[in-house]
Amino acid sequence: MKHDENILILDFGSQYTQLIARRIRELKIYSEIFPHNLDINTIKRIAPKGIILSGGPMSVYDIDAPRVNPDIFELGIPVLGICYGMQLICSIFGGKVEPADNREYGKANIKIINDSGLLKNVKNDSVVWMSHGDLLATVPPDFEISSETIDSPISSMSNTRKNIYGLQFHPEVVHTEEGNKILKNFLFDICGCKTSWTPESFITTSINEIKQTVGSSNVICALSGGVDSSVAAILLHKAIGNKLTCIHIDHGLMRKNESQAVVKMFDENFDLKIIHINASKRFLERLKGVIDPEMKRKIIGNTFIEVFEEEANKLDNVNFLVQGTLYPDVIESVSVKGKSATIKTHHNVGGLPEKMNLKLIEPFRELFKDEVRKIGYELGLPEDFISRHPFPGPGLAVRVLGEVTNERLSILSEADNIFINEIRTAKIYDEIWQAFAVLLPVQTVGVMGDARTYENVLALRAVTSTDGMTADWYRFKPEFLERVSNLIIRNVKGINRVVYDISSKPPSTIEWE
Asked if 195 contacts 27 with a C-beta cutoff of 8 angstroms, the reply is yes
Please classify residue 506 by burial: count the beta carbons closer than 10 Å to its beta carbon, then call 0-12 exposed, 13-18 middle and 19+ buried. Answer: exposed
- H-state helical runs in 288-363: 293-313, 327-333
- Neighbouring-strand partners of residue 138: 96
Residue 232 CA to residue 362 CA, distance in Å, equals 8
State the Cα–Cα distance between residues 168 and 148, nearest whole angstrom: 9
Residue at 414: amino acid letter: E
Within 27-176, strands assigned E span 31-35, 50-53, 79-82, 96-109, 111-112, 127-138, 144-148, 156-159, 164-167
Query: How many alpha carbons fall within 13 Å on the CB side of residue 171?
Result: 30
- Return d(Cα 190, Cα 52) in angstroms, integer: 13
Buried b (16+ CB within 10 A) or exposed e, 367-397: bbbbbbbbbbebbebeeebbebbbbbbbbbb
Question: In DSSP terms, which residues pair with 274 in a beta bridge?
Answer: 246
Q: Are 49 and 192 in contact (CB under 8 A)?
A: yes
For residue 72, how far is the Cα from the chain centroid? 28
Instruction: List, in order, residues 6 or more apart from 324 with CB less than 8 Å away.
Output: 222, 224, 226, 227, 228, 229, 230, 231, 232, 348, 362, 364, 372
HSE, side-chain direction, 13 A CA sphere, residue 18: 20
Find the helix packing angle between 406-425 and 478-491, rounded to 10°. 140
Q: Residues near 475 by Cβ (< 8 Å), separated by ≥ 6? A: none
**Cα-atom radius of gyration of the chain, to the nearest Å?**
25
- What's the Cα-to-Cα distance from 84 to each of 81, 216, 267, 395, rounded to whole Å? 7, 50, 53, 39
27 and 54 Cβ atoms separated by less than 8 Å = no
Catalytic residues: 83, 170, 172
Pairing outcome for strands 244-250 and 495-500: unpaired
